[in-house]
Structure 1
Amino acid sequence: MARNTNLRWKLPLTCLFLQVTMIVLFGVFVRYDPEAHAQWWVEKKRRNFSSDLENEFYYRYPSFQDVHTMVFVGFGFLMTFLQRYGFSAVGFNLLLAAFGIQWALLLQGWLHHFEGGYILLGIENLINADFCVASVCVAFGAVLGKVSPVQLLIMTFFQVTLFTVNEFILLNLLEVKDAGGSMTIHTFGAYFGLTVTWILYRRNLEQSKRRQSSAYHSDLFSMIGTLFLWIFWPSFNSAMSYHGDAQHRAALNTYCSLAASVLTSVAMSSALNKKGKLDMVHIQNATLAGGVGVGTAAEMMLMPYGSLIVGFMCGFFSTLGFVYIMPFLESRLRIQDTCGIHNLHGIPGIIGGIVGAVTAVYAKPDIYGDPGIVHSLDFHHFKAWSTTKTQGEFQAYGLLLTLAMAFGGGIILGLILRLPFWGQAADDNCFEDAVYWEMHEEKSTVYIPEDPTLKPPAPSVPLSPSVPAAPLSSSEPLGHSVPLAPLVSSASLIP
């Protein structure tokens, strides 16, 4: 029997309850006090050894625009490759992101921006909220087409909470460097989503296999998301770096890594195909792997050639993941990864965490300068006694902690979402927009492929141009036949 998919009251009541709750919490806790906020920023900048004590909005807002575009346009359209699930890919991405940024502003505000009993709201809060929601969008890719919008809202609430805790431990307690979120965003989001979809395994998903494929137009829409993500990824990795050298390095390193991943992905896609053709799935996803892999070490002295190496490795292993690892996960480990997030975010995220640890260990004062290495690796506060080796160890601990929290949290949430009253679709109705959306009938002609065997054979000898028929006389009645000039015999054309 098909599961209950009636959202007549479940979805509107859930959305209204969550939104009213957000309004109440924002009314109690969130403020923007220009004077107090300016003083808070001055103190923050003084502690970070930065001379840019002026308009933070002026510096951060362009990066916020780029990150915002990636979350709502890039991730949304990237998941439109399913031929009958485009409405849900873009629409549900908008839904979970709109709720996620509100909940993230509250949780991150309580941990990072709580002053005098209020959360001081600024442009940095908005960027960090988008980072948090980006992790949710990554996890959404694993369960795409198999969960209801109510389940997505519950997943967003739970994941944003766990993400904020993990991020606070890594960035504030361990002071791990992770400018582009290879660990906190991509690794956490990927393995959290993979664990959830593992718990929500569907035995009879083959019944919806025909809708799990793509079409020409859906792949084209998905490529729009790829291009938006690829173009804006340098802003994503450098948005929260310190103004100056760190932000400059983050943008340059990301740019180089992305370029290398494109060439490597194209080469691998063609090499792994028996006919040497390209697979659009690889081009849509593996070309972005360089941006994921360089995230942790983005603002470090990775050097341009180092960024190219990272992009090469990520493009190489990401494409291999789509060809070999993804089928293995589904057939052997029962992990039904709809979008292949393990290959785009999981593997490159782990590579990024390892690269960050190694780069920190080999950081040298003659490259950064003594003040620069202290500032770049946060060797102050409780880590004033640290060395580059110690920082590398902290980076590794951060990666392991992220994986542990992703697996543990994914198991708990997966068990909650397995309850049968969340409005999830039946196995034979997965990947279908009509389950949750009002679909309008389309009037279109049916395309019938042309059979080349039915074409008449081409003439062996070209014919002379036909003589036009004589004009009808005005005195002759309609339908009176008019004699045509005789055609020239083809034999007369032969000398």
Structure 2
Amino acid sequence: MVFIGFGFLMTFLKKYGYRVLGLNILLACIAVQWGIIMQGLWHHRHGKIRVGITSLIKAEFGSTTVLISHGALLGKVNPVQLVVMTMIEITIFGCNEHLGLEIYKVTDIGGSIFLHTFGAYFGLAVSFVIYWKKLQDPSKDQTMGHSDVFAVIGTIILWIFWPSFNSALGLGDDRHRAVINTYLSLTSCTITSFALASIVDEKDKLNMIHLQNAAIAGGVAIGTSANLMTQPYGAMIIGCLAGVFSVLGYRFLTPFLAKCCRIHDTCGVNNVHGMPGIYGALVSAIIASLASEDTYGYNLYEIFGYMSPPAHSSKHEDIQNNMIEIKPGQGRTASLQATYQLIALATTLAVAIGGGIATGLILKLPFLDSSKEDGQFLEESEEEGHYLPPCSSHREDDTKV
């Protein structure tokens, strides 16, 4: 998903095919390594950061925030700026995630809040700060047939593997629910996206840019509540509405933000990750407010850690007497847990936007900002052809590719 899915998804612009694939690999590798350190600092033991499968998965998750932000900045910043942004963003991301998961004790198994919402609005905030009218050249937004085909490859890869993305950190029933809910949400979102895209299009045709992205918005929207008791019909409703938000966002909101708010969102990350992420967080608050032991059994206290009875309370002792091991919590009510889900969303938005603005100001420093002199950093992908040097196995007139 990280190296193929996100990479190819952003190749729909004909001028940036080479660039986005190369930088995608570079940024992902930096983000994964730095993420292991940043996230490991919060969980070190005896001064050592332990590396295992779980830490690698979490680091990969963290790298998606950078790639999402990159989507909002494609064509506007140079590689050095992106590397600097990656280091800063992963650091802020690790702190915000620790605050939400370990202090607020919210649930976000698929990262709708801490990955998608954070990455989208961090990138949009940076885009707002570095906005320069010359960089918003309409010719840079042009697509062509083969670039759209490559972008669909990214969509398909992301679509197929999104259930595993949302369920990777789950165990037992949590993992099963996450896979099922994500799959149902994706299928519903795809159908809705295709139907609505043809309705809102001025020529009554399917718009490939909408479909390449809106079809996966359901995976983002269900992320926070993927392991919760949404019921199959609930997962399908979540996916349908995510498709509606995403398509309408591409059709109406993206042009408005570029024209009136000085926010040029190159790849539409607000429509795929931002709005569906916020929507998913709101849905998780509603579902959390309905959570009870009657519905989840004792698994409730594994999902919502602070809803577990306090240590030495009579209820906690009763559970222990039933030979069931659960960690003591604070005895939160369902409504209070829902409130913390909303607090985590608000905190993430504030941290992402504030961090993005600060990062944008850093990227505009003269020794980093070279965009005004030269916006090209890699070969264009629309070249007419390459030539192989003549050798004994090639005739001179056959060397053109």
Superposition TM-score, scaled by structure 1 size: 0.72
1:441, CA displacement in angstroms?
A: 5.9
Distance 1:439 1:368, change over 3 A: closer
| C-alpha RMSD of the superposition | 1.6
**1:375 and 2:302 matched:** yes
1:382, CA displacement in angstroms?
A: 6.9
Contact 2:16 / 2:381 at 8 angstroms: preserved in 1?
no
Alignment deviations for residues 43-76 of structure 1 (CA, whole Å, 9 cap, x no partner):
xxxxxxxxxxxxxxxxxxxxxxxxxxx0111001
What residue is the counterpart of 2:378 in the other structure? 436
What residue is the counterpart of 1:363 in the other structure? 291
**1:408 and 2:335 matched:** no
How far apart, in 1, do the equivalents of 2:5 and 2:196 lie? Answer: 24
How far apart, in 2, do the equivalents of 1:182 and 1:439 lie? Answer: 33
What residue is the counterpart of 2:278 in the other structure? 350
Larger radius of gyration: 1
1:436, CA displacement in angstroms?
A: 2.7
**1:74 and 2:20 matched:** no
What residue is the counterpart of 2:158 in the other structure? 229
How far apart, in 2, do the equivalents of 1:126 and 1:334 lie? Answer: 37
1:273, CA displacement in angstroms?
A: 1.4
What residue is the counterpart of 1:218 in the other structure? 147
1:375, CA displacement in angstroms?
A: 2.2
1:302, CA displacement in angstroms?
A: 0.7
How far apart, in 2, do the equivalents of 1:366 and 1:441 lie? Answer: 63
Contiguous gaps of at least 5 residues in structure 2: 309-326, 387-401
**1:278 and 2:278 matched:** no
What residue is the counterpart of 1:387 in the other structure? 333
Alignment deviations for residues 377-421 of structure 1 (CA, whole Å, 9 cap, x no partner):
223367432111111011010000000000110110000111232
Contiguous gaps of at least 5 residues in structure 1: 1-69, 445-495
How far apart, in 2, do the equivalents of 1:213 and 1:322 lie? Answer: 15
Secondary structure at 1:204 match in 2: helix
Secondary structure at 1:71 match in 2: coil
What residue is the counterpart of 1:104 in the other structure? 35
What residue is the counterpart of 1:36 in the other structure? none
Please point out which of 60, 68, 72 is paired with 1:142: 72
How far apart, in 1, do the equivalents of 2:344 and 2:240 lie? Answer: 24
How far apart, in 2, do the equivalents of 1:283 and 1:310 lie? Answer: 18
**1:83 and 2:18 matched:** no
2:163 counterpart letter in structure 1: P
Please point out which of 164, 169, 176 is paired with 1:240: 169
Contact 2:15 / 2:382 at 8 angstroms: preserved in 1?
no
How far apart, in 2, do the equivalents of 1:296 and 1:441 lie? Answer: 43
Secondary structure at 1:120 match in 2: coil
Please point out which of 261, 266, 269 is paired with 1:333: 261
Alignment deviations for residues 428-466 of structure 1 (CA, whole Å, 9 cap, x no partner):
x64x5xx3348896449xxxxxxxxxxxxxxxxxxxxxx
How far apart, in 2, do the equivalents of 1:275 and 1:443 lie? Answer: 34
Please point out which of 156, 173, 179 is paired with 2:103: 173
1:374, CA displacement in angstroms?
A: 1.9
1:424, CA displacement in angstroms?
A: 3.1
Contact 1:146 / 1:424 at 8 angstroms: preserved in 2?
no
Please point out which of 42, 63, 82 is paired with 1:152: 82
1:96 counterpart letter in structure 2: L
Alignment deviations for residues 313-359 of structure 1 (CA, whole Å, 9 cap, x no partner):
10001000000000000000000100000000000000000001100
Please point out which of 162, 170, 181 is paired with 1:253: 181
1:272, CA displacement in angstroms?
A: 0.5
How far apart, in 2, do the equivalents of 1:418 and 1:363 lie? Answer: 47
2:141 counterpart letter in structure 1: Q
